[in-house]
Every structure is written in structure tokens, then in C-alpha cells.
Chains A and B, each alone.
Chain A
Amino acid sequence: MTGVVIPSVLRSLRGLPNSLVVGGTILLLSVFVGIFPSLFAPYDPNAFDYNELLSGPSLQHPMGTDNFGRDVLSRVTHAYKIDMQIAFFATVVPFIFGTTIGALVGYSGGIAEVLFGRVVDAVITFPFLVLVIAIVSVLGPGLVNMYIAVGVVGWVFYARIIAAEIKVQKRLDYADAGRAMGYTHIRIIFFHLLPNSITPALVYWMTDMALCILLGASLGYLGLGAQPPTAEWGVLIADGKNFMVTAWWISVFPGLAIVLTGLGFSLVGDGLAELLRSKR
């Protein structure tokens, strides 16, 4: 069975851009680790071991231990769960909401479009992190509040991309045909125009997930995102920042996990964009 499946999978991969294959592999592995962290973590991520404080990378602790004797590898592994969640939850609502609003705005045009333009102007005028920090300061620190803060701002970017696409699509013949057939506007927008406009938003979604991992880690580092002792990469780096000279491994390994995951998302984004260009 596998003798047939694997070669055929490899054959279908051959036509894809390299960046998509490499990035996709990284992401699939990251998601797998995120779902089953216990398979990869040798220890309990929150277990203190006072006999192993600040010990360097070794066979027992490949990434060393922190100032409470917690195993860094186990903490980095368990953080996959939180950070992959951040990437998904912080972006999925803006993606759906922004796409819907963008489709409606792009299709209707007129006053809605003008108003929307003003909203876009205002949102891009705030440095993203500053606005998110300001919102988090109102709601209080924590992951859920971070999702809300990102959602309040993030939908605008999806809406802008979709609105521009729909504006082009609605003038094409098939949209006219739909109207001539007496279809409702909603049916034309969501069943005909949107499937033809969604790809740039999907590409942006990949970039956005990478950005949100960076953002989540940054807020975690500043103490405004995930709260300790939750294992989250930004929190882990902050935990180790005072030990950088004596015990670099506490901060360095979680950072490498961020870089690797971010790389996965941006490679997939690049690969998707390349694939779409060559299809067109």
C-alpha cells in the first residue's frame, strides 16, 4: 500500500515550488508537535528539579535547564501548542470577518467604499503593535484579550485585499450573467465572485500567521500576552533574559523555534504566491 502511495505523493510534489515543499514540511511538523507535544517532550514542562538548576545542554537535557531546573526542550516543545494556537486563533476571525466585509464593500462600492477607505487610513496610521498594546492595556493582559486586540485591527487588511479583487471581478461577464439570471447579490458575491478572489487573501493569511507568532511572542516577552508559567516562546525568552551571559540556552532555543516556524510560514506564503503566478 505505502509502496504505491509514497511515490505518487512524491511525484505530485515535484511540480511544486521548492519553497512550498520545504515550508509545508516545516509547518506540518510544527502542527504535529503542537498537537502531540508530550510525544516529543522528555519531561514535564513545569516540573522543578532543584538538582539540575541552570545546567547546560547535555544528553539528559539536550537544551539544558532553566533557573528552576525545568527542562528547556520540554518547555519549547509544549510552547508549540500555544504558539501554533496563537497563529491560528489570532488570524482566523480577522480572515473570515475581513473577507466578508471586503466582499460586501467591494461589491457595493459608493459610500460604503469611501467610509471603508477612511477606516483603512486610520488603522494603518497606528503602528500595529502600539494599537494592539493600547487595546490590551484596556482589556488587561492575556491570550484571549490579545486575540481580541489583533482581531479588532487585523480584519482591515483582509478586507482591503478582497475589496480590491471583488471590484475587478464584479465587472466581468460572469457576474453580469449571474445578475441576468436573477441571482441575488448575496449569491453572486459569496458563491461566484468570492471563490475567484480569495487566493491573495489566502497568501496573506500565511504571512499574517507568521506575523502573529512574532506578535504573540513579543507581547509574551513584554508580559502582555501569555502569562507565566505558561510555556510560550516569548515568555520563555523573557524567563531567560537575565541569564543570557551565564545560561544562554534558556532564551536561545525558544528563539530558534520562532525563527524556524516563521520561516515555514513565509516559505509557504512565497511558494503559494509563486504557484499562483505560474498558473496565471
Chain B
Amino acid sequence: MQLIRFIFYRILHLIPTLLFILIVVFVLVRLLPGDPASAILGDRALDADVERINRELGLDRSMAIQFLAFLKSVLTGNLGDSIHLKVPVMELIQKRLPVTIMLTIMASSIAVFVAVPLAFVAALWRGKAGDIAVRGVFQVGLSMPVFYLGLILLTVFGARLGWFPVGGYGDGFLDNLYHLFLPAVVLAFSLSAILMRNLRSAIIEVLDAEYVQFAKGKGIGPGMVLIRHVLRNALISTVALFGLSIGTLLSGAVITESVFAIPGAGRLMVESIYGRDYPVVQGMTISLAVLVSLTFLLTDLVQAWLDPRVG
């Protein structure tokens, strides 16, 4: 019952956040230099045409009414048309966003697979060679720009060794996975560094806690203690951290997609900025922000499930 109430309030909490996102994007778009009418009509537009377009777009009305109109069209899934590609922005989002989501999911899975065992190694052999080596590598990883690592891996494993494609997305699910593997590794690197660091100190803290000492004292085997007590409790803070890192991960995805020429949301956004295709920039900003807030919701729920005290 408690949990259901928590979920309900948590979802309710989403509404003001989403509203704020839309306000920020609305204000940003109004700050654009030059008016949309001349952007559509070009530099030699006649005054009468500019006025007509402004009327059609509702730009001659008050800010409040414009915002309500904007709100209505966003809620009905109408984000306008791309200036260059001449297709609805919503269609572009439906095509490009899943690619980015898949890349992010792959990267997160790789990061978890790498970070969890290494965190155990580092925590259980605190201060020994293994711990120092793992922490050293990840310390460097935290300072390495995503695009730099991407460029190096692309050159070595793509161009030189030919083990992986040098970019693109491929056809079919397995081919997609194959194309996304190298970019996902790149994205996973700094995330696994953050997760490893946090999980390591969480494990050390839990290992010293009384209930773990007690479980050991009861004669439960060390493997069982690690999985049942240590991992579960250490994971709680990691899940929270994971949620907070999703923004960083998506930021990284924007760059990785550009380096590996992956047709995802991030690359489309960067291209649209070069081309001053503002409806697309606006739509992508909104959809990425919504994606993050949904991830926050998801991680909060997972946390509540792992730790009853959170709910």
C-alpha cells in the first residue's frame, strides 16, 4: 500500500518538472535571433508576407496565449516540421530516439558488467595492487573526453584491425548491436568509472557494518554474505547514482553518435544546430529531457523496491 502511494506521488511529481522543461524550451526558442518568418521566407521576404506568416504561426498574440498554444501542440504530439528535412519532427524523434536509447542501454549494461566485479575486487583487496590498478585506470577514464576515446578505438579496432565497422548503424537487430558495440564501450567507460568508485566505497562501508559482521558470525558462507547482504545494500546508492548519471550518459551519446556517425537523436540535434533547424532542436531537447525524467522515475522505483525505507 505504502509503495503504491509512493509511486502515485512520484508520478504526480513529474508534472511540474515536465511543465518547467516546456517553459525553458519555450523561452529558449523565443530568444532566437531573427524571427521565424524570415527564417522560413528567406532574407528578401516582403513585409506583408512576414506579417501573414506571423499571424499564421500565432506570433502576433500575447506570450501567455502563445505558451498555451505551444503546450497544446506539444501535448497532442505536434512538434512542428523540420525546416530542412520537411518532415514532422515527431516522425524524426520516433525514428532517431530509439537508436539513442538502445545505445544508452547497451552502454549502461556494459558499465554495470564491468563496474560491479571490479568494485568487489577493489573493495575486498583494499590498498593492494589490484585496487590501485583498477582505481588508476578509472581515474584516467574520468578525465578522458568521450570523443577522444571514441576516435582512438575507432582507429585501432575499426580502421586498423577491421574488427568493427567504422561507423553507421547497420540493418537488422544483430547488425545494429554489432555496430553499436564499440560506441557503447566508449560511452560505458566513464560511467563505469563513476559507478565503480561509488560502489567500491559503498561495499567497504557495508562490509564494516554490524549486520554483515553478524551474518558472518552466524556462520553464513562468505559468498552468500557478499551476494545477499553486501551487494544488495551497496547497490542502493549505485542505483541512485546511476539515475543521476543518465544525463551525462545522454550528453555523451550526443558526442559518440557524432564520432561514430550513428543516426541517433544526438547526431540529428548537432546537425540541426549547424543547419539552424530550430523545430528539430526544440523537439530533441524536449524528448531527451523527458527521457531523463522518466529514467529518474524508474530509478526511484527500483530504489524503493531495493530499500523499503525509501518508500
Residues of A at the B interface (CB closer than 8 Å) are: 118-119, 121-122, 124-131, 133-138, 140, 210, 214, 217-218, 221-224, 234, 237, 241, 244-245, 248, 251-252, 255, 258-263, 265-267
Q: Per-position contact with A for B137-155: 1 when CB-CB < 8 Å, else 0?
A: 0011011111110011011
User: Does B269 lie within 8 Å of A241, measured CB to CB?
Assistant: no
* Contact for A255 among B145, B244, B285, CB less than 8 A: B145
Give chain A nearest CB distance to B72 CB in angstroms: 21
Cα–Cα, bound, A138→B273 (Å)? 9
Known: A125-B289, A126-B24, A127-B248. A133 touches B254 (CB 8 A): yes
Q: Which residue of B lies closest to A141 (CB)?
A: B273
* Contact for A259 among B21, B33, B144, B278, CB less than 8 A: B144
User: Does A130 lie within 8 Å of B254, measured CB to CB?
Assistant: yes
Cα–Cα, bound, A269→B21 (Å)? 32
* Contact for B270 among A133, A135, A241, CB less than 8 A: A133
* Contact for B17 among A125, A134, A138, CB less than 8 A: A125
Main secondary structure of the interface of B (DSSP, over half): helix
Main secondary structure of the interface of A (DSSP, over half): helix
User: Does A222 lie within 8 Å of B32, measured CB to CB?
Assistant: no
- Besides A126-B247, A130-B266, A134-B25, 9 other A-B contacts (C-beta < 8 A): A118-B17, A118-B20, A121-B16, A122-B20, A127-B292, A136-B273, A218-B146, A251-B151, A259-B148
A sample of 22 cross-chain residue pairs with beta-carbon separation below 8 angstroms, ordered by A number, consists of: A126-B292, A129-B250, A129-B252, A133-B254, A133-B269, A134-B28, A135-B28, A137-B272, A137-B276, A138-B33, A210-B143, A214-B143, A218-B147, A224-B273, A237-B148, A244-B155, A244-B159, A259-B143, A261-B143, A263-B139, A263-B143, A266-B143
User: Does B33 lie within 8 Å of A125, measured CB to CB?
Assistant: no
* Contact for B21 among A122, A129, A234, A237, CB less than 8 A: A122
Give chain A nearest CB distance to B147 CB in angstroms: 5
Residues of B at the A interface (CB closer than 8 Å) are: 16-17, 20-21, 24-25, 28-29, 31-33, 139-140, 142-148, 151-152, 154-155, 159-160, 244, 246-252, 254-255, 258, 266, 269-270, 272-274, 276, 278, 281, 284-285, 288-289, 292-293, 296
User: Does A245 lie within 8 Å of B159, measured CB to CB?
Assistant: yes
User: Does B289 lie within 8 Å of A126, measured CB to CB?
Assistant: yes
Contacts of A127 in B (CB 8 A): 246-251, 254, 288-289, 292
Contacts of B288 in A (CB 8 A): 126-127, 130
Most B Cβ at <10 Å: residue of A119, A222, A267: A222
Q: Which residue of B lies closest to A134 (CB)?
A: B285
Q: Which residue of B lies closest to A219 (CB)?
A: B255
Contacts of B143 in A (CB 8 A): 210, 214, 258-263, 265-266
Cα–Cα, bound, A133→B32 (Å)? 13
Cα–Cα, bound, A245→B272 (Å)? 29
User: Does A258 lie within 8 Å of B28, measured CB to CB?
Assistant: no
Contacts of B21 in A (CB 8 A): 122, 125-126
User: Does B296 lie within 8 Å of A128, measured CB to CB?
Assistant: no
User: Does A221 lie within 8 Å of B17, measured CB to CB?
Assistant: no
* Contact for B142 among A118, A217, A252, A266, CB less than 8 A: A266
Contacts of B276 in A (CB 8 A): 137
Contacts of B154 in A (CB 8 A): 244
Give chain B nearest CB distance to A222 CB in angstroms: 6
Cα–Cα, bound, A224→B273 (Å)? 9
Q: Which residue of B lies closest to A224 (CB)?
A: B273
Give chain A nearest CB distance to B27 CB in angstroms: 10
Cα–Cα, bound, A134→B269 (Å)? 9
Contacts of A234 in B (CB 8 A): 145, 147
Cα–Cα, bound, A32→B155 (Å)? 33
Give chain A nearest CB distance to B68 CB in angstroms: 19
Give chain A nearest CB distance to B236 CB in angstroms: 20
* Contact for B145 among A136, A224, A258, CB less than 8 A: A258
